[in-house]
């Protein structure tokens, strides 16, 4: 069943759907009055709805029943990725959204090959947010992850105070056989708490960057005995979180 993120609370018993989602309903899916969809509010509540009317500008969907429960991870995980080459960040955002990430923060690392163009960047950031929205709809989430525009490492460190736990995915820890930090953090983090996990670009983080992060309270951790690519590592962590917080419980 198609899922749409809508404006309004639905307290009036219906939702008005406009813009791209209206086009998708009317032109792509060719829905008709009586068809059912799922509508999700900005507060993360979802409802089974029935389409009552489709005009040239909007679709009107009446609430049939509100759904209980939530498909969201019980903890909030933010993925901070050193800007990678090509479309790797789009892959991380799409798959990371499906796996339950709450936010994505690209940052400009020392070894980032990509040079961020502030003028063209806003359009790219809008594309990233659209990718997250579509992935959240496809995976039947109740929240769309927030996608930030790229920041500096300094800004990332300054923002770390709003998180309960901060980790660095550091390949040197994997080489040394470290396998306990991530598991220990998962045991300690409580429902509703937050985790910020930092991943380097293709060339990894420099020793200086790791030192700066450790000085700010970040803890290095390994992700198993193998060295993972920059686009694979965040998905490993999110999958491990899903197993620990959802399947094990």
**pLDDT (tens digit per residue) in 35-70:** 999 999 999 999 999 999 999 999 999 999 999 988
The answer to pTM > 0.85 is yes
Q: How far is CA 23 from each of CA 2, 19, 30, 192, rounded to the nearest angstrom?
A: 13, 6, 9, 36
What is the predicted pLDDT for the residue at 176? 60
Q: What is the CATH number of domain 3-66?
A: 2.40.240.20
pLDDT band at 178 (very low <50, low <70, confident <90, very high): low
Q: How far is CA 219 from each of CA 82, 166, 207, rounded to the nearest angstrom?
A: 17, 6, 14
Distance CA 133, CA 179 (A): 33
CATH architecture observed for domain 76-247: 3-Layer(aba) Sandwich (3.40)
Domain ranges of the chain: 3-66, 76-247
* DSSP state, residue 101: -
HSE-up (13 A, CA, CB side) for residue 186:
19
């Amino acid at each position: 069943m198609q899922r749409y993120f809508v404006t309004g609370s639905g307290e009036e018993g219906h939702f008005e759907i406009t813009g791209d989602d209206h086009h998708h309903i009317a032109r792509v899916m060719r829905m008709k009055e009586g068809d059912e969809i799922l509508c999700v509010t900005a507060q993360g509540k979802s409802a089974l709805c029935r389409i009552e009317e489709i005009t040239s500008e909007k679709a009107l969907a009446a609430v049939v029943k509100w759904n209980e429960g939530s498909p969201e991870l019980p903890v909030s995980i933010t993925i901070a990725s050193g800007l990678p080459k090509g479309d790797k960040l789009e892959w991380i955002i799409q798959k990371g959204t499906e796996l339950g990430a709450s936010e994505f923060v690209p940052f400009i690392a020392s070894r980032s090959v990509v040079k961020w163009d502030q003028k063209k960047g806003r359009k790219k950031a809008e594309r990233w947010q659209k990718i997250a929205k579509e992935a959240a709809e496809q995976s039947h989430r109740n929240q769309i992850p927030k996608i930030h525009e790229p920041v500096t490492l300094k800004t990332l460190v300054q923002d770390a105070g709003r998180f309960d736990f901060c980790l660095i995915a550091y390949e040197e820890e994997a080489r040394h056989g470290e396998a306990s930090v991530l598991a220990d953090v998962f045991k300690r983090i409580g429902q509703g708490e937050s985790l910020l996990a930092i991943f380097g670009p293709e060339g990894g983080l420099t020793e200086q960057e790791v030192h700066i992060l450790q000085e700010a309270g970040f803890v290095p951790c390994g992700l198993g005995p193998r060295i993972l690519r920059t686009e694979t590592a965040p998905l490993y962590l999110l999958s491990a979180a899903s197993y620990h917080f959802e399947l094990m419980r």
